[in-house]
């Protein structure tokens, strides 16, 4: 296991280095001088020079890159030009909000996607299968920001059942926090549920025709036991790894969902940073999400290893 | 190729094409996808000659009017006809979908062929770069690129195109790896054909079908991405219409004019569904295991 993980980490290292080069290059390719934003209206050449010295922008580009990387490795992703706060501190403030949204969305995705996938595979070719497929494809085709707008219109404006926007921390008021997050996480969760349903269906189709399932049926086990214990348990490996791999979709989906429901999380921070030309924050978020994605890939690999006895035996 | 084998191959190719077309035609949902896509392409192309009001003409006497005979889909916050803007917006959305996927294919397919065919260091460098780009979530990467390039439809298309490139590199590379050790490629090498000719005549045509399927599915993703960027204000700029920017404005008038939000969303949904159905159908029709 340790050897397997070490190998995977070693393979991931060049990717992380390339990501850091790419993220660093983003700012360097930018037309114009980022310091002009910092220098404000006056743009006094002396002030600009001073700032250039302060941020070591006169250093050769390679030196600048290594300084940036070594700072990033120590958790220093620079200073937000707008709020003057460290980018890492800003991100840590927003992290719990997005984590709550992500966790609740994942619950929706699992609760809707997995049973729908099992049912669809078990009843392959039936009306249930057809409906489940149509719903899943529709889920993949609906822009989630539009679904969010429509839900606000119906659930909040017309029926006044749930709040349309905002965020209440879990520690402040647990129930209100869940109520506020319910609609956004449903919106984000439905798109993931569609992906989850399709993967569960295909994994289940693979195992439902396996010999051990036929043997289980021949032994006289109930269908429920055959499907849930013998088939589903074997189809679980790709589903669990997919859950880890959906991290990227989750973060990208959070950008728009948080924007619509005015949730002060990671996603809203990146959009605000883009409009305020706060490039240090944009860079920080791209770097952290990309490294996060690689980490989730490693988690997926590790889970695959743990759940697959054949791999463990090697 | 000898003179006797050429007509035989032509005949076999014709049969294969026929089989694919038959399979595609029998795929009802793929046909529905084709109809949906054709409908939107048609209205986008015919927008200049359709008898609809000018999409930019404002009317202060018709602000936020509900759908009526005069304005079938209602009017927006400054009295512009929603249907006219929807039809012109189809141009922006479809253009963004096709152009960005075109960019992704132009960059991704050659790089994928190089990586897959030459292997070694070429493959290692291209593959590592692909993995690095794939690690950043698609929309985050597109937002970051669009932000750094500046907000406009052209830049949004470039940003989406670059973000989608790694998908095509990886797919093409995998396909080339399957094809490059085939007998006909070995034979082409053995008779001394130059590498560019082998790549163009023997590798590319054989890896193209799955790439076309992926392209159809990626157009759907690209249309949603363009709508998302325009929704965030990073795509099509006012007063030019786009479905995403229409939704962005509409969200401020949900209570007073819900139709402003309804039609652009339904349009995005239908066109994306169309491309997804079409892509699924193409995949089934082109999959040799299904025959």
* pLDDT for the residue A246: 83
Pick from A146, A156, A164, A277 the residue to mutate for testing the B interface (most B CBs within 10 Å).
A146
- Residue B254: list chain A partners with CB under 8 A: 149, 152-153, 157
Under DSSP, the state recorded for B236 is S
- Domain ranges, ordered by start, for chain B: 79-290
Q: Which of B139, B261, B272 sits opposite A141 (nearest CB)?
A: B272
The DSSP bridge partners found for residue A86 are A79
- Contact state of A286 with B139 under an 8 Å Cβ cutoff: no
Mean pLDDT value across residues B22-48: 88
Kindly list the distances between the CA atom of residue A202 and the CA atoms of A139, A304, B13, in Å, as whole numbers in the listed order.
17, 17, 31
- Contact state of A149 with B232 under an 8 Å Cβ cutoff: no
The DSSP bridge partners found for residue B81 are B75
Q: Which of A138, A143, A286 sits opposite B265 (nearest CB)?
A: A143
SS3 A86: strand
In degrees and rounded to multiples of 5, residue A190 shows phi and psi of -65, -40
* pLDDT for the residue B5: 54
Q: Determine the distance in angstroms separating the CA of B89 from the nearest CA of chain A, rounded to an integer.
A: 16
Q: Determine the distance in angstroms separating the CA of A227 from the nearest CA of chain B, rounded to an integer.
A: 26
Rg (CA), chain A: 24
Residue A72 tokens read as: 């990033």
Window 131-190 of A: residues touching B by CB (8 A cutoff) are 137-138, 140-143, 145-147, 149-150, 152-153, 157
SS3 A60: coil
Q: Report which of A20, A43, A18, A21 is spatially closest to residue A32, judged by C-alpha positions.
A: A43
Q: Determine the distance in angstroms separating the CA of B206 from the nearest CA of chain A, rounded to an integer.
A: 27
Class of domain B79-290: mainly alpha
- Residue A258: list chain B partners with CB under 8 A: none
Kindly list the distances between the CA atom of residue B9 and the CA atoms of B14, B141, B203, B205, in Å, as whole numbers in the listed order.
8, 45, 17, 14
DSSP secondary structure string for all residues of B19-86 = HHHHHHHH-HHHHHHHHHHHHHHHHHHHGGGSS---TT---GGGTTPPS-SSSTT-B-TTS-BHHHHH
- Contact state of A26 with B144 under an 8 Å Cβ cutoff: yes
- pLDDT classification of B71: cutoffs 50, 70, 90: confident
Query: Would the pTM of this model clear 0.90, i.e. be above it?
Result: no
What is the fold, at CATH topology level, of the domain defined by A87-313?
Answer: MetI-like fold (1.10.3720)
Q: Report which of B261, B274, B259 is spatially closest to residue B40, judged by C-alpha positions.
A: B274
- Contact state of B137 with A252 under an 8 Å Cβ cutoff: yes
Under DSSP, the state recorded for A79 is B
CB contact burial B63-89 (16+ within 10 A = b; e otherwise): ebbeeeeebebbbbeebbbbbbbbbbb
| Cα A88 to Cα A281: distance, rounded to the nearest angstrom | 9
Mean pLDDT value across residues B117-126: 92
| Cα B153 to Cα B156: distance, rounded to the nearest angstrom | 5
Q: Report which of B216, B225, B229 is spatially closest to residue B273, judged by C-alpha positions.
A: B216
* pLDDT for the residue B260: 93
Which bin fits A43, alpha (ψ -120 to 50), beta or left (φ > 0)? Answer: left
Mean pLDDT value across residues B234-243: 87
Place of tokens 């791209």: A286
Residue B274: closest CA among chain A residues belongs to which residue?
A141
Whether B254 and chain A come into contact, CB under 8 Å, resolves to: yes
Mean pLDDT value across residues B263-283: 93
Average pLDDT, rounded, for chain B:
88
Which bin fits B262, alpha (ψ -120 to 50), beta or left (φ > 0)? Answer: alpha
Whether A295 and chain B come into contact, CB under 8 Å, resolves to: no
| Cα B94 to Cα B267: distance, rounded to the nearest angstrom | 11
The percent of residues above 90 in pLDDT, for chain B, comes to 53
- Contact state of A14 with B276 under an 8 Å Cβ cutoff: no
- pLDDT classification of B13: cutoffs 50, 70, 90: low
Q: Which of A146, A152, A293 sits opposite B135 (nearest CB)?
A: A293
- Residue A29: list chain B partners with CB under 8 A: 148
pLDDT in tens, B80-105: 999 999 999 999 999 999 999 999 99
Beta carbons of A196 and A114 less than 8 angstroms apart? yes
- Domain ranges, ordered by start, for chain A: 87-313
Whether B245 and chain A come into contact, CB under 8 Å, resolves to: no
Whether A14 and chain B come into contact, CB under 8 Å, resolves to: yes
Rg (CA), chain B: 23
Whether B138 and chain A come into contact, CB under 8 Å, resolves to: yes
Sign of CA dihedral B207, B212, B217, B223: positive
Q: Determine the distance in angstroms separating the CA of A147 from the nearest CA of chain B, rounded to an integer.
A: 8
Beta carbons of A192 and A246 less than 8 angstroms apart? yes
- Contact state of A248 with B137 under an 8 Å Cβ cutoff: yes
* pLDDT for the residue A281: 87
- Contact state of B132 with A19 under an 8 Å Cβ cutoff: yes
In degrees and rounded to multiples of 5, residue B75 shows phi and psi of -125, 165
* pLDDT for the residue A178: 94
pLDDT in tens, B131-188: 888 888 888 888 888 877 888 999 999 999 999 999 999 999 999 998 888 889 989 9
Residue B136 tokens read as: 């950043």
Pick from B29, B96, B127, B136 the residue to mutate for testing the A interface (most A CBs within 10 Å).
B136
What is the residue-level pLDDT of chain A in tens, covering all 314 positions?
A: 778 788 888 888 888 898 899 888 877 766 556 666 666 666 777 877 887 777 777 788 888 889 888 988 898 888 887 788 899 999 999 989 999 999 999 999 999 999 999 999 999 889 999 899 889 999 989 998 999 999 999 999 889 999 988 899 999 999 999 999 999 999 999 989 999 999 999 889 888 888 888 898 898 888 888 888 888 888 888 788 788 778 777 888 888 999 999 999 988 888 888 888 787 888 888 888 888 888 888 888 888 778 777 666 65
| Cα A12 to Cα A255: distance, rounded to the nearest angstrom | 26
Whether B32 and chain A come into contact, CB under 8 Å, resolves to: no
- pLDDT classification of B2: cutoffs 50, 70, 90: very low
Pick from A19, A136, A141 the residue to mutate for testing the B interface (most B CBs within 10 Å).
A141
Q: Which of A142, A143, A274 sits opposite B228 (nearest CB)?
A: A143
- Contact state of A143 with B224 under an 8 Å Cβ cutoff: yes
What is the ipTM metric for this complex?
Answer: 0.84
Q: Report which of A278, A280, A301, A309 is spatially closest to residue A82, judged by C-alpha positions.
A: A278
């Amino acid at each position: 296991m340790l050897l397997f993980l070490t190998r995977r980490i070693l393979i991931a290292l060049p990717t992380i280095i390339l990501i850091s080069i790419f993220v660093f290059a983003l700012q360097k390719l930018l037309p114009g001088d980022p310091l002009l934003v910092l220098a404000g209206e006056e743009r006094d050449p002396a002030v600009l020079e001073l700032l250039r010295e302060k941020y070591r922008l006169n250093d050769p580009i390679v030196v600048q890159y290594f300084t940036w990387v070594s700072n990033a490795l120590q958790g220093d992703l620079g200073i937000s030009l707008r709020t003057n706060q460290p980018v890492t501190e800003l991100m840590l403030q927003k992290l719990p909000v997005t984590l709550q949204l992500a966790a609740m969305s994942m619950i929706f995705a699992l609760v809707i996607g997995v049973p729908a996938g099992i049912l669809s595979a078990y009843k392959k070719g039936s009306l249930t299968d057809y409906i489940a497929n149509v719903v899943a494809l529709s889920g993949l085709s609906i822009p989630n920001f539009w679904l969010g707008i429509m839900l606000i219109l119906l659930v909040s404006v017309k029926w006044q059942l749930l709040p349309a926007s905002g965020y209440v921390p879990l520690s402040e008021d647990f129930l209100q926090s869940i109520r506020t997050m319910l609609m956004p996480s449903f919106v984000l969760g439905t798109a993931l549920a569609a992906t989850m349903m399709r993967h569960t269906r295909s994994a289940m189709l693979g195992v439902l025709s396996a010999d051990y399932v036929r043997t289980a049926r021949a032994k006289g086990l109930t269908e429920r036991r055959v499907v849930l214990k013998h088939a589903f348990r074997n189809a679980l490996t790709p589903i669990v790894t997919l859950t880890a791999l959906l991290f990227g979709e989750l973060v990208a989906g959070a950008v728009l969902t948080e924007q619509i429901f005015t949730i002060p999380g990671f996603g809203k921070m990146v959009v605000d940073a883009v409009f305020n030309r706060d490039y240090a924050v944009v860079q920080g978020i791209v770097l952290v999400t990309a490294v996060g994605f690689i980490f989730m890939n490693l988690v997926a690999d590790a889970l695959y290893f743990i759940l697959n006895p054949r791999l463990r035996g090697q | 190729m000898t003179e006797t084998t050429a007509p035989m191959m032509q005949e076999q190719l014709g049969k294969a094409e026929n089989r694919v077309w038959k399979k595609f035609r029998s795929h009802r949902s793929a046909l529905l996808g084709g109809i949906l896509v054709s409908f939107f392409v048609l209205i986008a192309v015919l927008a200049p000659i359709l008898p609809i009001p000018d999409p930019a003409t404002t009317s202060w006497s018709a602000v936020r009017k509900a759908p009526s005979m005069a304005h079938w889909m209602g009017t927006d916050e400054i009295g512009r006809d929603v249907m006219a803007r929807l039809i012109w917006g189809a141009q922006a959305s479809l253009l963004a979908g096709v152009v960005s996927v075109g960019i992704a294919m132009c960059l991704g397919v050659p790089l994928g062929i190089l990586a897959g065919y030459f292997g070694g260091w070429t493959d290692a460098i291209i593959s590592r770069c692909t993995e690095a780009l794939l690690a950043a979530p698609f929309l985050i990467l597109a937002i970051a690129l669009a932000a750094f390039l500046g907000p406009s439809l052209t830049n949004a298309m470039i940003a989406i195109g670059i973000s989608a490139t790694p998908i095509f590199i990886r797919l093409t590379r995998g396909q080339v790896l399957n094809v490059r050790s085939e007998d006909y490629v070995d034979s082409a090498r053995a008779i001394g054909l130059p590498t560019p000719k082998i790549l163009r005549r023997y590798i590319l045509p054989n890896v193209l079908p799955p790439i076309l399927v992926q392209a159809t599915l990626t157009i759907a993703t690209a249309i949603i991405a363009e709508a998302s960027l325009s929704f965030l204000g990073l795509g099509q700029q006012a007063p030019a219409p786009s479905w995403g920017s229409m939704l962005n404005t509409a969200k401020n008038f949900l209570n007073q004019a819900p139709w402003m939000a309804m039609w652009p969303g339904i349009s995005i949904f239908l066109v994306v569904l169309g491309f997804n159905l079409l892509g699924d159908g193409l995949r089934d029709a082109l999959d040799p295991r299904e025959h």
